Copies of this chain bind each other. A is one copy, B any other.
Amino acid sequence: MTRVAIIGAAGYTALELIKILLRHPEVEITAVADQHENRPPIAMIHPSLARRLDLCAEKLTPAEIAARAECVFCCVPHGVSATLVPPLLDAGVRVIDFSADYRLDDATSYEQWYGHKHPDPERLGRTVYGLPELFRSEIPSARLVANPGCFPTSAILPLVPLIKADLIEPQGIIVDSKTGVSGAGRTPKLTTHYPECNESISAYNVGRHRHMPEIDQIIRRATGVSVEVIFTPHLVPMDRGILSTIYAVPKRSDLTEEQLLQTLRDFYQEEPFVRVVDHLPGTKDSLGTNFCDITARIVRGRVLLISCLDNLIKGASGAAVQNFNLMYGYPETTAL
């Protein structure tokens, strides 16, 4: 049994995380920390948790958290995370960080993309990136795990096996991604106001989304090959789900769909949460699950990859629990 705490209670990833952890036979949630002054019951913040989790959201110091929990899931925004994580680690807890603060290679690229100096630059580039399919061996001993971004997972998983097998050109890879609205978080904004984004699709942050360098750097970490993907996210009127359509140039003109699919199948054959499928997957197939579905096609000589996942599960909270299971020696699929 492991006692865990959650920091940042009000968001969708925290809610989804709690739902998964409530199914986990070896987890006790002992604290839910956030900035509310008046200790509201968690069910007031998330009505769906009524009768399921009887805790209040509290302001807690790192020491107080460490007194209650061995492991902390940190669900706060980037920038904030890097100020909370160091004292938590110092207090002796292990941390799974949902923010982007510990994913990039160095403080320079962090500052370039995130617009402020990194508060804890030493850990950049040395923190485990919590994508077990690529970095499983590093996770069990990690004291801090950077939980992957939702878009990066959907791009990295299909691309890495093909780059490693030297089947596609690393230049000019296009990642055209579509996401449900929960990816934008729970803070009301005009762009995610129902009558604005319902019945509409639009691209956003074109050329400057922060998941673009994350995709580049993690692919290089996993393959040793430098890439510069062209990444375009789109907002789709649905709650959850990411579909990425990826275009790449094959290295050999006689490459076949079957070779692509077999390369993917071979790479992921032992993986419990990657399904290489023959059909064209929809995001609903993996909704509410920790699966990432992948398929491949060749269209007019171009490699086309499609991946689907639930941005709140495999793209966030499910991946976090997968990392947790590896860190604490539980079967990797527990509660997932």
| A contact set with B: CB distance below 8 Å | 12, 23, 47-48, 50-51, 172, 174, 176, 178, 180-182, 186-190, 192-204, 206-207, 228, 230, 232, 234, 236-241, 243, 245, 247, 249, 275, 277, 279-289, 291, 293, 297-300, 302, 304, 306, 308
Contacts and interface: CB of A to CB of B under 8 A. Distances in A.
B287 A206 contact: no
Determine how many copies of this chain the complex contains: 4
A253 to B, nearest CB: 14
16 contacts: A23-B23, A47-B277, A48-B285, A176-B245, A188-B188, A193-B194, A195-B240, A198-B237, A199-B238, A200-B238, A201-B238, A202-B284, A203-B243, A206-B304, A230-B247, A234-B245
Contacts of A302: 172, 174, 230
A159 to B, nearest CB: 16
A199 B310 CA distance: 11
Most buried by B among A195, A239, A299, A308: A195
Nearest to A178: B201
A193 B188 contact: yes
Given A176-B245, A188-B190, A237-B237, A200 B300 contact: no
Contacts of A196: 186, 284
B200 A194 contact: no
A201 B279 contact: no
B230 A48 contact: no
Contact of A194 (B181, B207, B282, B288): B181
